[in-house]
Amino acid sequence: MLILAVDTTSHFGSVALIEGRELIAEVNYISPSTHSRQVFRAVDELLNLSGQKFDNLEGLAVAAGPGSFTGIRIGLSFIKALALASGKKLVGVSALEAISYKLLWPGVELIVPMIDARRGEIFAGAYSTLDGQLREVISPGAYNPGNFLDLIPVEKEAYLIGSGVDLYRSLINDKLGPRAIIPNRSYYLAAEIGLIGEDLLKKGQRISPAELKPIYFRKSQAEEKKPVKKR
């Protein structure tokens, strides 16, 4: 199954083609502002590099969040438009699960993704890796970094990854000490989005464009500032 995967949830933008759990091609870029222009160009370049045509695609996968509110909206609008125009199978994927996929290694039992959510918070969760599958240990959500780190089980080494780890490394060391393992991995997620998306589509878990919803975990700053209408 040939899958186009798209991630615009952070400034590490990426698109990828996955088939049979193999990475066929990938295009990564840094977006200093929004992804509106870069993601179109990246998909064109991806198809040219791979020698594939859009008509050959059998499914579409997109990172639905959490992350940048603007980036999420652009990614979902882009992939919805492709799905509506083509009728191709569609699935949304959690960015927290996707970045955790980068650490699905033998011997790793606890993976902790942490994404900078700004305003002193992180988007985070924790997953065990029983049978090579991610299983929630701490529910994904928006957290105060210190409060979240206190929730991490004490009996296992924790493998941490994400922009929130970079930002709160000192706090992590204070809270977890030698239990904290921080591998050096890239934050481009399209390949992992595609791998997860392919599995979901093979299980028949496709959704319609109308069913594709963003994963925010909290209101945007603009929404919080909206005045409450009096009745």
- What pLDDT tens digit does each residue of the chain (231 aa) get? 999 999 999 999 999 999 999 999 999 999 877 788 899 999 999 999 999 999 999 999 999 999 999 999 999 999 999 999 999 999 999 999 999 999 999 999 999 999 999 999 999 999 999 888 899 999 999 999 999 999 999 888 999 999 999 999 999 999 999 999 999 999 999 999 999 999 999 999 999 999 999 999 987 544 454 444 555
Phi, psi of 114 (to 5 degrees): -135, 120
For position 220, what pLDDT does the model report? 53
Which CATH number do you get for residue 59?
3.30.420.40
Please check whether residues 198 and 176 belong to one and the same domain.
Answer: no
For position 131, what pLDDT does the model report? 80
Domain that holds residue 23: 2-94+187-224
In the three-class reduction of DSSP (H, G, I as helix; E, B as strand; rest coil), residue 25 is classed as: strand
For position 98, what pLDDT does the model report? 98
Distinct helix (H) and strand (E) counts, the chain: 8, 10
Please check whether residues 31 and 73 belong to one and the same domain.
Answer: yes
Please check whether residues 196 and 88 belong to one and the same domain.
Answer: yes
Give a yes or no: residue 229 inside a domain: no
For position 222, what pLDDT does the model report? 45
Which 8-state DSSP code applies to residue 187?
Answer: -
Q: Is the peptide bond before 214 cis (omega within 30 degrees of 0)?
A: no
Does the CA dihedral 100-103-104-107 come out positive or negative? negative
For position 77, what pLDDT does the model report? 96
Which 8-state DSSP code applies to residue 55?
Answer: G
Please check whether residues 202 and 160 belong to one and the same domain.
Answer: no
For position 110, what pLDDT does the model report? 97
For position 228, what pLDDT does the model report? 45
Q: Which of 206, 167, 190 is nearest to 35 (CA)?
A: 190
Cα–Cα distances (Å) from 173 to 104, 111, 181, 183, 187, in that order, read: 22, 16, 10, 14, 21
Please check whether residues 173 and 111 belong to one and the same domain.
Answer: yes
For position 154, what pLDDT does the model report? 85
For position 155, what pLDDT does the model report? 86
Give this prediction's pTM.
0.92
DSSP strand pairing (59-65 vs 2-7): parallel
Indicate the number of domains in the chain.
Answer: 2
